[in-house]
Amino acid sequence: MARERLYLFDTTLRDGAQTNGVDFTLGDKLTIAKMLDDLGIDYVEGGYPGANPTDTQLFAEDRKLAATFTAFGMTRRPGRSTSNDPGLAALLEAKADAICFVAKSWDYHVRVALETTPEENLASIRDSVGAAVAKGREVLLDCEHFFDGYKANPQFALACAKAAYDAGARWVVLCDTNGGALPHEVEAIVGEVVKVIPGAHVGIHAHNDTEQAVANSLAAVRAGARQIQGTLNGLGERCGNANLVSIIPTLKLKAEFADRFEIGVSDAQLKSLAHASHTLDEMLNRAPNRHAPYVGESAFATKAGIHASAIMKDPATYEHVSPDRVGNRRKLLVSDQAGRSNVLAELERIGLKIDKDDARISRLLDVVKEREAIGYAYEAADASFELLARRVLGKVPDYFDVEKFDVNIEQRDNAVGQRVTVSLAVVKVKVDGETLISAAEGIGPVNALDLALRKDLGKYQGYINGLELTDYRVRILNGGTEAVTRVLIESQDESGERWTTVGVSPNIIDASFQALMDSIVYKLVRSGAPA
Ligand SMILES: [Zn+2]
């Protein structure tokens, strides 16, 4: 039986950016967009061009995603024409494949917040959708507060949705903006909507204020909606949006959905889900939720005892799905086959050829486990993992030795009597039997160390001239008996390639030094620098 297509729309970069404490840079947004693309998401909503410089810049260039790259914005303001609304003009100019407008669909909001008439609200929807369609864009309309609006005045809420559909919107998205709707209500209301607008054009955008955003999304699909909007790890304002990381495996692995529907995420892409989820957390500098469904470290962990012995006989006894389907692993077996296959997959990904029975793989796995136990995070630091693997396999030359470094921090009055804090680093490096000493001042100790380290590497200098440190993140970990510091450094080279390295130590400068060293050595390896 042919399965129906369900579409996934990710708004991590727009709604997810409303999360308290989350602040995406342009680089973050590009990295996450790429990650979503690799995962097989159909629509990536990048942001709100014109609302802030980052989003304006994001939409200034064609980002060349396989997904439908979508810009978000308001419908034309009441009382203006589409040609005389700068916000709308910016949106229409954005380099995006699709435009997602947001409009009111609750008459109470139209009166009180927008201070206009229901008729003008409908006209604004029609005009804006029409203008974007005329520009050749695929158009979506987010109907804000749709479920509350429907409860208050079903005719008007439906009229807003219908106005968008009739004006050529590909999708009419029903939003539970304050997150208060319950699954049975969502199912009933979506059931009414699809009598007026075909379900293949209806989407659901649920917030998690009663912790049912995922359930509400699935209820909408049961009732006929065919697009689900959500975010990675349920990021979003207040209690967050519908969590795509929970929705995707449910759609792929639960027969009720898997038998009826097809999504853009392949089985192979599903296996990268846990990795994508953890990578996002690392980028946000927050600890992944160990108890997250499907992808959490504890999602398939079983304490020793009767459960464990039953699981060893047959995992299906205690697991609702197989952890490797989502790239997670069972935490129980001592000889960790899943860990081994993860490592093998990673080695293949980075192009290191090795026989799968080679004893060095077990050694590498042991080293990774040991180091992760003391705080290293290799899921987030791809370049450090690659170096570690190459080292265990004996494939990293000793390019240079740092014989000694010294970092000083001094607070003093400068020439014009201002109190300043200055950092000075001195690095003594041995390259090819020759000792080189470099010193540099920086805005902080790590910056000074980075500058001094990269100032003179003798014959290798040419390889690292284009190297640039683009992000620096610190986390204090309370593992074991004492606190240690984990530093993640993101670097970039002249070709635009980016990589992340990690260092761990009780001392923040030492942790930073490890991550800086890994970054430089990684660059030399990648450039094929001679030993
Ligand atoms: Zn929202």
Please give the distance, rounded to the nearest whole angstrom, from the Cα atom of residue 240 to the centre of ligand 1: 8
Check residue 42 and report its DSSP letter. S
Closest CA to 453 of 471, 492, 489, 426: 426
Q: Which helix (H) or strand (E) holds 487?
A: strand 484-492
Strands 401-413 and 43-47: unpaired
Pairing type for strands 498-505 and 484-492 reads: antiparallel
237 CA distance to ligand 1 middle (Å): 8
21 C-alpha vs ligand 1 centroid, how far in Å? 17
- Find the helix or strand (DSSP H, E) in which 161 lies: helix 154-166
User: Which residues make beta-bridge pairs with 69?
Assistant: 44
Note whether 380 and 502 are within 8 A (CB).
yes
Residue 139 near residue 129, CB atoms below 8 Å: yes
Helix axes 445-453, 508-526, angle to 10 degrees: 30
Kindly give the distance from the C-alpha atom of residue 151 to the centroid of ligand 1, in angstroms, as a whole number. Answer: 19
Strands 434-442 and 468-477, bridge-based pairing: unpaired
Alpha helices, H only, 200-314: 213-223, 244-253, 255-258, 267-270, 273-283, 306-313
Q: 100: number of CA atoms within 13 Å, CB side?
A: 27
DSSP 364-417: HHHHHHHHHHTT--TTT-HHHHHHHHHHHTT------EEEEEEEEEEEEE-TTS
Confidence (pLDDT) at 308: 53
Contact 383, 499 (CB under 8 A): yes
Q: What residues are neighbours of ligand 1 (ion), with CB under 5 Å?
A: 15
What pLDDT is stored for residue 49 in this prediction?
95
CA 360 / ligand 1 centre spacing (Å): 49
For residues 257 and 218, the answer to whether their CB atoms sit within 8 Å is yes
Query: How would you classify the pairing of strands 227-230 and 202-206?
Result: parallel
Instruction: Tell how far the Cα of 231 is from the centroid of ligand 1, in angstroms.
Output: 10
Q: How far apart are CA 110 and CA 156, in angstroms?
A: 11
Burial string for 48-65 (b: 16+ CB within 10 Å, else e) reads bbbbeebbbebbeeebeb
Integer angstrom CA distances of residue 165 from 135, 162, 226, 429: 17, 5, 15, 67
Mean pLDDT, consecutive 10-residue segments, the chain of 531 residues?
Answer: 93 94 92 97 97 95 97 94 92 97 94 90 97 97 98 97 98 98 98 98 98 98 98 97 98 97 98 93 83 90 55 73 88 48 75 85 86 83 91 90 95 92 95 94 93 94 92 81 87 87 95 97 94 83
Say how many Å lie between the CA of residue 89 and the centre of ligand 1. 23
Do residues 487 and 503 lie in contact, with contact meaning Cβ atoms separated by under 8 Å? yes
Give 90 Cα–ligand 1 centroid separation in angstroms.
21
**Torsion angle of alpha carbons 21, 26, 32, 33, nearest 10°?**
140
Give me ligand 1 centre to Cα 105, in Å: 14
Containing H/E element for 55?
helix 53-58
Residue 269 structure tokens: 């892409």
What phi and psi values does residue 384 have, to the nearest 5 degrees? -65, -35
Give the distance (Å) from ligand 1 centre to CA of residue 229. 9
pTM: predicted TM-score of the whole model, two decimal places: 0.69
